């Protein structure tokens, strides 16, 4: 099948909305046109991803989740960004590599997988740095299978265990069952984490988890379930402490504050108890200034890149 045909009746994500994205927008909020809102060197990923030269990050617009606390909501839910074609995306990959970044970091890429794979085919043999699939965890295994041979590192952000919580905060009651199956396949594809002599990741899986206020018990249960499904050497855990309430959180009192040190450390103990290695995040990272600036114009984006 021509990959473009996957967009005629789109079932790339677990929503399986079936929309013909060549004619209208899917649940993700995107048509068949590739839209991004920023690309460039990114120094704020995990140490083995950003390293000393940064990740070559491409921020895609739209999302299959509707998280009420999304810090990137202006591009994930509210339309900011601009259109590029497959050839331009391929050129961006090579431009980022020429800047010396450690990898190509594809952020929220799920609904553009067919176009991304076409772009990667265009640079085959010229792109020599690892490709990262940096997603929200709500994935279909059929889509993940398409990435074998293209993606070296998977960074799913696994958000919830409890279906009631995932339904309320992200409109995805089947979140965990979809996510854990997807991560299992990611680990099978990427293999155990591998780093080079400088500690830069070459392949493997980093599971991210953002500890939400008033949800530490759900976080602990999620970590325990990961411990039941994965051996400690199969995946790395990045436990994030950067939750910053957005304006929309005023409607969800339980998350309308920052995560406390007690809440974060409680989950960190669960990570340790399961034997996982990985990364912890300083509480000072929970600042709005760490949210990237996004753009509606490609020319403006280019002037912002180093």
Q: What is the mean pLDDT of each run of 10 residues along the chain (306 residues)?
A: 91 98 97 97 94 97 96 89 97 98 98 98 98 98 98 98 98 98 98 97 98 98 98 97 92 96 96 95 55 75 53
Q: pLDDT at position 303, please?
A: 46
Average per-residue pLDDT for the chain? 94
CATH number for the domain running over 3-304: 3.20.20.70
CA distances from 293 to 37, 144, 288 (A): 9, 29, 11
* String of DSSP letters for the chain: --GGGGGTT--SSTT-----TTTS--TTS--SSEEEEEEEEE--S-HHHHTTT-EEEEEES--S---TT-TTHHHHTS---EEE-HHHHHHHHHHHHHTT-S-EEEES-GGGHHHHHHHHHHTTTT--S-EEEEE-S---HHHHHTTTTT-SEEEEB---S-HHHHHHHHS-TTHHHHHHHHHHHHHHHH-S-EE-TTS-EEEEEEEEEEPPTT-HHHHHHHHHHHHHHS-TTT-EEEEE------GGGGG-GGGSSPPPHHHHHHHHHHHHHTT--EEE--GGG--GGGSPP--S-HHHHHHH--
pTM (two decimals):
0.95
157-202 per-position pLDDT tens digit: 999 999 999 999 999 999 999 999 999 999 999 999 999 999 999 9
CA distances from 223 to 103, 134, 139, 163, 286 (A): 28, 19, 19, 15, 21
């Amino acid at each position: 099948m021509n990959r473009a045909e996957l967009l005629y009746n789109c079932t790339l994500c677990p929503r399986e909305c079936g929309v013909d994205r060549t004619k209208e927008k899917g649940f993700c909020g995107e048509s068949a046109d590739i839209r991004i809102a920023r690309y460039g060197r990114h120094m704020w990923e995990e140490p083995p991803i950003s390293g000393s030269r940064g990740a070559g990050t491409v921020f895609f617009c739209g999302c299959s989740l509707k998280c009420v606390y999304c810090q990137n909501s202006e591009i994930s839910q509210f339309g900011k960004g601009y259109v590029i074609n497959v050839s331009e995306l391929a050129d961006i990959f090579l431009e980022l590599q020429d800047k010396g970044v450690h990898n190509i970091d594809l952020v929220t890429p799920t609904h553009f997988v067919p176009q991304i794979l076409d772009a990667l085919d265009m640079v085959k043999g010229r792109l020599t740095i690892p490709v990262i699939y940096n997603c929200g965890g709500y994935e279909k295994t059929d889509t993940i299978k398409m990435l074998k041979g293209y993606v070296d590192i998977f960074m799913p952000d696994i958000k919830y265990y409890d279906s009631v919580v995932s339904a309320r905060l992200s409109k995805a009651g089947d979140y965990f069952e979809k996510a854990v199956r997807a991560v299992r396949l990611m680990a099978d594809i990427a293999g155990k984490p591998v780093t080079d002599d400088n500690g830069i990741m070459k392949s493997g899986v980093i599971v991210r988890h953002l500890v939400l206020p008033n949800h530490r018990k759900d976080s602990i249960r999620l970590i325990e379930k990961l411990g039941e499904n994965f051996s400690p050497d199969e995946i790395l855990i990045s436990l994030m402490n950067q939750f910053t309430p957005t304006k929309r959180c005023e409607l969800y009192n339980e998350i309308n504050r920052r995560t406390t040190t007690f809440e974060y450390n409680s989950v960190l103990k669960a990570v340790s108890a399961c034997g996982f290695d990985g990364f912890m995040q300083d509480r000072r990272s929970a600042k709005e200034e760490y949210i990237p600036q996004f753009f509606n114009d490609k020319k403006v984006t280019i002037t912002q890149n180093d």
